[in-house]
């Protein structure tokens, strides 16, 4: 009889978050793009609490990957435009940039529906994680937009410390539906930030591919830069008015209070690369700019994206 070595776990897109010394576990993080992960802002805050520096963009934590790639670890830094903590939606999220290649492919994002069966992996007391299962029941919790998850009454475990930042997955698939952010004291109910509520400030292969096929990333950049000269984006009140008029899908992915270039870049990338709404966005800008010279430059820059010659 032959003896086979145990097969290692396939590398998982969920990682653990510790302090920089790797001595204390604070939660989980989820790979969302090559070199990028997301976690809860409060997980980062707890991990850097002993450093004396406030948590926020530039804060550094340590990641490891016990599920399938023991020995891998990375330093991760909060991205400049990837921090939301209490003052603005989505209230408790952080985008981390890794200092080395990730140990697994990123998660495929999904969209939750009320009544979905879901599962969550956390790291409260076991290096390879503990699973809980449950069902999404609707929005609720301490913040607008959070989605409640009722844990199965027969589940062997509940949501415990160590689950914060864990990805909420489809029960029978592996799509990432949201980020677990809080729970009741009993752990029988938890809340997640749905993926569609987290601004996608990390690079996406889809956005890059679509842009290349319709005029290239340079046209996206030129269009966004031209938009930064428009009064509609320069003046906060006018930008907010534009934001309110945008398609709801864009509003869910944008923040009106981002810095000017980041707002313009993300607006163009999402409108063109993911939703096919660039014509609609330009029409909204036209109506507010009264056909001025600045808007003409935007139209010229965007012409390759729209498949028409400038002028």
Q: For the chain, which residues make up each domain, given as ranges?
A: 14-98, 116-197, 206-305
Got the DSSP string for 46-99? HHTGGGSSPPSTT-EEEEE-TTT-TT-EEEEEEEEEEEEESSSTTSEEEEEEES
pLDDT in tens, 217-266: 788 889 999 999 999 999 999 999 999 999 998 998 888 888 898 899 98
Average pLDDT of every residue of the chain = 87
Report the C-alpha dihedral over residues 163, 168, 170, 173, rounded to 10 degrees.
-70
Q: Between 260-273 and 217-227, two packed helices, what is the crossing angle to 10 degrees?
A: 130
Distance CA 95, CA 167 (A): 14
Residue tagged 């909060």 (tokens): 78
Four-residue CA torsion sign, 114, 115, 116, 119: positive
**What CATH fold (topology level) applies to the domain 14-98?**
Thrombin, subunit H (2.40.10)
Phi-psi region of 105 (alpha: psi -120 to 50; beta: other; left: phi over 0): beta
214, pLDDT greater than 90: no
Is 116-197 CATH 3.40.225.10? no
What's the pLDDT at 191? 95
**Is-same-fold flag (14-98; 116-197)?**
yes
Pairing relationship of beta strands 167-170 and 117-122 according to DSSP bridges: antiparallel
pLDDT in tens, 16-49: 998 877 778 899 999 999 999 999 999 999 999 9
- The percentage of residues in the chain with a pLDDT greater than 70, rounded to a whole number, is 90
131, pLDDT greater than 60: yes
Predicted TM-score of the model (pTM): 0.65
Tokens (6 digits) for 76: 């991760």
SS3 293: helix
What's the pLDDT at 291? 72
């Amino acid at each position: 009889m032959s003896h086979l070595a145990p097969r290692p776990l396939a590398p998982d897109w969920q990682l653990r978050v510790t302090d920089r010394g790797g001595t204390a576990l604070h939660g989980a993080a989820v790979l969302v793009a090559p070199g990028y992960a997301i976690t809860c802002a409060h997980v980062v805050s707890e991990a850097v609490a002993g450093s004396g520096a406030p948590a926020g963009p530039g804060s550094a934590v340590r990641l490891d990957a016990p599920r399938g790639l023991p020995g891998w670890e990375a330093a991760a830094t909060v991205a400049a435009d990837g921090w939301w903590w209490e003052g603005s939606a989505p209230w408790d999220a952080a985008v981390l940039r890794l200092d080395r290649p990730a140990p697994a492919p990123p998660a495929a994002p999904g969209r939750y529906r009320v009544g979905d069966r879901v599962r969550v992996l956390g790291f409260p007391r076991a290096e390879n994680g503990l699973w809980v299962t449950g069902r999404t029941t609707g929005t609720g919790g301490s913040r607008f937009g959070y989605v409640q998850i009722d844990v199965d009454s027969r589940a062997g475990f509940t949501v415990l410390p160590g689950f914060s930042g864990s990805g909420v997955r489809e029960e029978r698939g592996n799509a990432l539906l949201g980020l677990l952010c809080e729970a009741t004291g009993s752990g029988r109910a938890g809340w997640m930030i749905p993926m569609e509520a987290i601004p996608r400030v990390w690079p996406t292969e889809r956005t890059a591919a679509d842009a290349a096929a319709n005029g290239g990333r340079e046209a996206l950049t030129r269009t966004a830069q031209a938009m930064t000269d428009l009064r509609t984006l320069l003046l906060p009140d006018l930008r907010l008015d534009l934001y309110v008029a945008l398609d709801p899908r864009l509003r869910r992915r944008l923040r009106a209070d981002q810095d000017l270039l980041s707002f313009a870049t993300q607006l163009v990338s999402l409108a063109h690369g993911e939703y096919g709404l660039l014509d609609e966005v330009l029409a909204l800008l036209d109506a507010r700019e009264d056909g001025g010279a600045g808007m003409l430059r935007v139209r010229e820059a965007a012409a390759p994206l729209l498949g028409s010659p400038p002028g």
